[in-house]
Amino acid sequence: MIANVDYLKETLGRAKQEIAKVIIGQTGVVDKALIVIFTGQHALIEGVPGVAKTLLVRTLAHVLGCEFGRIQFTPDLMPADITGTNVFNLQRHEFTLVPGPVFTSFLLADEINRAPAKTQSALLQAMQERQVTIDRVNHALPRHFTVFATQNPIEYEGTYPLPEAQKDRFMLKITMLAPSRDEELELARRTLGKDSPETALAQGAVRPVLTPETLTDLQCSLERIAVRDELVGYSVEVVRRTRQSDTVLVGAGPRATQSLLLASRAQAAIAERDFVTPDDIRAMAIPVLEHRLILRPEYEIEGLTAAEVIQKMLQEIAVPR
């Protein structure tokens, strides 16, 4: 039975309350992570070390009643280290599958750009089809398989840029900034006591609010969020404009249009509405499109960013009434 919109709003509110027991501040980041999960997509998280990227994903998995797995990407990581491999069992005289860490619900791909393209590509099939092929046999991944891949935005030594095909499979790029002074002060105080964020999660102070089954129902309930035809056309125009800009070498593809609409619908649910507004689309435009654009070199040299290009486009496109 598909949950109604009111139950979706209530559950999102409870989930955010539980997450706030561990993650101090970062409200916008938590909202975007929930949008990714409730739309069944994947996210690229960018932030300097120490801003709780790993803790965020662990907390999300706990609160939403799903399994958590982590892969630390390194230059010597091989594809089989991610997907798993068949190992000969001497007792049974047959090969048995030893599944890799990809067989989980929420997967943290830590510093994904530290692995070469061959290893990064091992995630492509998993992210798109939710299955992996090992020795020509397909193995299904959990229904709620979601990849949260992290990147360090300031350290590029020994890293490999993500292929465009892989970046396009991430619905959102989530930027995690350093906490404000008040938030960092609260973190410092809690660290000196018995209620530090890591301790709160480990000792069960954070309660699950969902199970995998109810998460499926809530994902389906997003279909009840109304999206007017004018807003569908507005989303299409926003994405198509990225292919027409003189500052953009490669614009966003049709998958970006799908992501923008799905993200906007989930954003409306986060805002406790049962309908999408133009503001939802505008709020999701930069997280959805930023990592998909390649600017022309001459504009990059001038310091222009993809976010600034998208913001200018949004100002130029007529907003539906």
- pLDDT at residue number 313: 93
**pLDDT of 49 over the 50 cut:** yes
Beta strands, E only, 163-252: 172-175, 248-250
Above pLDDT 90, what percent of the chain?
39
Sequence letter at residue 44: L
**pLDDT of 274 over the 90 cut:** no
- pLDDT at residue number 156: 63
- pLDDT at residue number 155: 64
Alpha-carbon distance of 206 to 269, in angstroms, equals 23
Whole-angstrom CA distances from 196 to 12, 13, 170 are 24, 22, 31
Beta strands, E only, the chain: 43-46, 68-72, 84-89, 94-99, 106-110, 131-134, 137-140, 146-151, 172-175, 248-250, 294-295
Overall average pLDDT of the 235-248 stretch = 93
Q: Do domains 23-202 and 225-316 have the same CATH topology?
A: no
Domain 225-316 CATH superfamily: Magnesium chelatase subunit I, C-Terminal domain (1.10.8.80)
State the helix-helix crossing angle for 27-38 and 53-63, rounded to 10 degrees.
Answer: 50
Residue with tokens 């959102």, as numbered in its chain: 172
* 23-202 has CATH 3.80.30.10 classification: no
Residue with tokens 């999701």, as numbered in its chain: 284
Contact present, 142 and 112 (Cβ < 8 Å)? no
Whole-angstrom CA distances from 29 to 178, 190, 197, 306 are 12, 21, 17, 19
3-state SS class at 201: helix
List the one residue out of 182, 104, 113 whose CA is nearest residue 151: 113
For 87-113, the pLDDT digits (tens) are 888 887 788 888 889 999 999 999 888
**pLDDT of 200 over the 80 cut:** no
Which H or E run contains 263?
Answer: helix 254-270
Token pair for 42: 């994947």
- pLDDT at residue number 209: 87
Token pair for 250: 């490669």
**pLDDT of 176 over the 70 cut:** yes
**pLDDT of 312 over the 90 cut:** yes
**pLDDT of 60 over the 60 cut:** yes
Overall average pLDDT of the 225-229 stretch = 92
**Taking the domains of the chain in order of start, what are their residue ranges?**
23-202, 225-316
For 115-167, the pLDDT digits (tens) are 888 888 788 888 888 998 888 888 899 888 999 999 876 666 667 778 787 88
Using the 8-state DSSP alphabet, how is residue 103 labeled? Answer: S
- pLDDT at residue number 3: 57
